[in-house]
Amino acid sequence: MHVLLPARHLLPSLLCYKPHYRPISSLSIAPALVRSEGHSGGRWVPATSTFPVLDPSSGRELLSVSDFGVQETREAVRSAHTAFQSWRVTLAKERSVLLRKWSELMMQNKEDLAKLITAENGKPLKESLGEVVYAASFLEWFSEEARRVYGDFIPSPAKNKRILAVKQPVGVATIITPWNFPSAMITRKVGAALAAGCTVVVKPAEDTPLSALALAELADQAGIPGGVYNVTPCSRQKTPTVGEVLCTDPLVAKISFTGSTATGKVLLKHAADTVKRVSMELGGHAPLIVFDSANLDQAVAGAVASKFRNSGQTCVCSNRLLVQKGIHDAFVQKLAAAMNKELFVGSGFDERTTQGPLINERAVEKVEKQIQDAVARGARVVCGGKRHSLGGTFFQPTLLSDVTTDMMCTQEETFGPVAPVIKFDSEEEAIAIANSVNVGLAGYFFSQDPAQIWRVAEQLEVGMVGVNEGIVSSAEAPFGGVKQSGIGREGSKYGIDEYLEIKYICYGGL
Ligand code: NAP
């Protein structure tokens, strides 16, 4: 049933203000952290041209950044390869100490790093601070894991032979990251790579290179040797050619990518020619299932947390809300009320803001297209549904009911603040809908029935399950997906394996 809220319930989300442009010079960020050149071989390197980094709140330019091309990128790969020869033989404890120092410097500079994230990504400052702490936690975690890379001594079938399996770093790793977590998507990979003894070349997203460059400054300050952490910023125009170099250069041994499934497939094709190791953290389309057995308040809080973080722009955001018929109407009503009470749209630098702008116009157009398609096919807009009156790329947090599985929003990732609610009858139906897509990153469900909890957790075709919980990520837990959501795991005790080869040594003649 469509739940129409009285107009006054919609008022709070309209009580917003005009965002104002904050030039980067006005943000009181330590000048050493505001970098406009690439970082290669331990040096700041200009390019022959630059590209603008924009403030998504106003569309105005924050800074011009060096636009690396093929030549600068090859040079960065060579630097990483040279540095690998000495980094690979440093003691695990030395690498551990340096990673810890890097993590500590992030924490000491967390306010400045957070301001950079909010400036280039638009997310609320509180969320940016959370991201910096989360990002630093990967360096800390892998500083500990660096010292726990064990091999095996295997019982031999022959009396005169001994069998050992040792682990060695794979080599230079290309790290390609998206804009939605400008800092954490880098450290989640780089922490593991450096701990294993690999060196890296990082290509950040065009929209958010500033955080990647600030991390390079802190890596230098931590004493990480030149060439171990390189950054090749580039414009979207140059990305395909730079990306090709990074994924085909014979000196590169490993590609670790986080981004869309479509781009991941391009990179996998590049990787095939030289048979590089790959880790792929790709798109999601998370179901969030609310069973009749759920605690309603817990389910509503979980839905708000998992759907609207970063304005819906995370790969693990719930993207399809499946709600059982007995609890459906109450859930929709409570969720709408919570959205109107708790979500505040505005500039990331305003303390009240919970919803910053979307990253760019393309993102807004995708959200609009999905809503138009859903409404044309019979969905109802319970709240939101339009561009926000603040203009630019601000969008109203949106709740759709009467959603069906033929609608675009249930078939592809939204990456925006739209919560589409699908009503279902039975547990089997919910699982069938949840598993009907070709990706499987995160999935959430709310139930107080222990038997149902085991059944559903085991049947969901995803890499990560939140049971009565909307936020699941941490450095300690394995992050990754199944199906077309990717290959490999990041974080946790498993993450470092992505950067290690197993070598078998047969010691004979004994
Ligand atoms: P995207 O378009 O795939 O871009 C991601 C990165 O790949 C950017 O640095 C981009 O550079 C680069 N890129 C694009 N085309 C390339 C090419 N031909 N060669 C080399 N690099 C290329 O993804 P996005 O829109 O920025 O990010 C959103 C997507 O990331 C969503 O699908 C989301 O689910 C996914 N994601 C997944 C995870 C996870 O852990 N599974 C985490 C976060 C996000 P430019 O910026 O220059 O285009």
Read off the pTM. Answer: 0.95
Cα of 260 from ligand 1 centre, angstroms: 5
Q: Are residues 371 and 436 in the same domain?
A: yes
Looking at residue 8, its pLDDT comes to 31
Residue 510 lies in a domain: no
Q: Examine residue 5 and state whether it is found in any structural domain, yes or no.
A: no
Q: How far is ligand 1, taken at its centre, from the CA of residue 289, in Å?
A: 27
Distance (angstroms) between ligand 1 centre and the Cα of 405 equals 26
Task: Give distance in angstroms: CA of 259 to centre of ligand 1.
Answer: 3
**CATH number of the domain residue 115 falls in:** 3.40.605.10
Asked if 347 contacts 337 with a C-beta cutoff of 8 angstroms, the reply is no
- At 304, is the secondary structure helix, strand, or coil? helix
Which of 176, 181, 484 most suits a substitution to test ligand 1, by most atoms within 8 Å of the C-beta? Answer: 176
Query: Using an 8 Å Cβ cutoff, are 464 and 479 in contact?
Result: yes
Select which of 281, 413, 461, 498 is catalytic. Answer: 281
The answer to whether residue 462 scores a pLDDT higher than 80 is yes
> pLDDT by residue (tens digit) across 466-484?
999 999 999 999 999 999 9
Which ligand 1 atom sits nearest the alpha carbon of residue 270? 19
Give how many domains the chain has, as a whole number.
2
Reported as a pLDDT band with limits 50, 70 and 90, residue 19 is low
> Has residue 6 been placed in a domain?
no
Spot the catalytic one: 198, 234, 315, 317: 315
Distance CA 43, CA 501 (A): 30
Average confidence score pLDDT of the chain: 95
Atom number of ligand 1 nearest to Cα 479: 40
- The angle subtended at Cα 128 by Cα 26 and Cα 349, nearest 5°, is 40
56 and 125 in a common domain: yes
Beta strands 152-154 and 162-169: pairing type? Answer: antiparallel
pLDDT above 70: percentage of residues in the chain:
96
Q: Are residues 274 and 291 in the same domain?
A: no
For every residue of 146-158, DSSP letters joined together read GGG---EEE--SS
User: Is any ligand 1 atom within 6 A of the Cβ of residue 315?
Assistant: yes
Q: Once rounded to an integer, what is the mean pLDDT over residues 243-252?
A: 98
Q: For this structure, is 281 an active site residue?
A: yes
Which residues, including other chains, have CB under 8 Å from residue 428's CB and lie 6 or more apart? none
β-pair type (162-169, 500-507): antiparallel
What domain range is 448 assigned to?
A: 286-474
| 175 and 319 assigned to the same domain | no
Reported as a pLDDT band with limits 50, 70 and 90, residue 22 is confident
371 in the same domain as 449:
yes
Instruction: Tell whether ligand 1 has an atom less than 6 A from the beta carbon of residue 241.
Output: no
User: Tens digit of pLDDT for each residue in 437-450?
Assistant: 999 999 999 999 99
CA 505 – CA 376 distance, rounded (Å) = 64
Is 315 a residue of the active site?
Answer: yes
Residues 122 and 223 in one domain: yes
Please report the atom of ligand 1 found closest to the CA of residue 266.
Answer: 18
What torsion, rounded to 10 degrees, do the Cα atoms 139, 185, 77, 144 define? 20
Q: How many CA atoms lie within 13 A of 105 on its CB side?
A: 20
Condensed to tens digits (0 to 9), the pLDDT of residues 65-74 reads: 999 999 999 9
Ligand 1 binding pocket includes 131 (Cβ within 6 Å):
no
Higher pLDDT among residues 8 and 401, named by residue? 401
Please indicate, yes or no, whether residues 44 and 142 belong to a single structural domain of this protein: yes
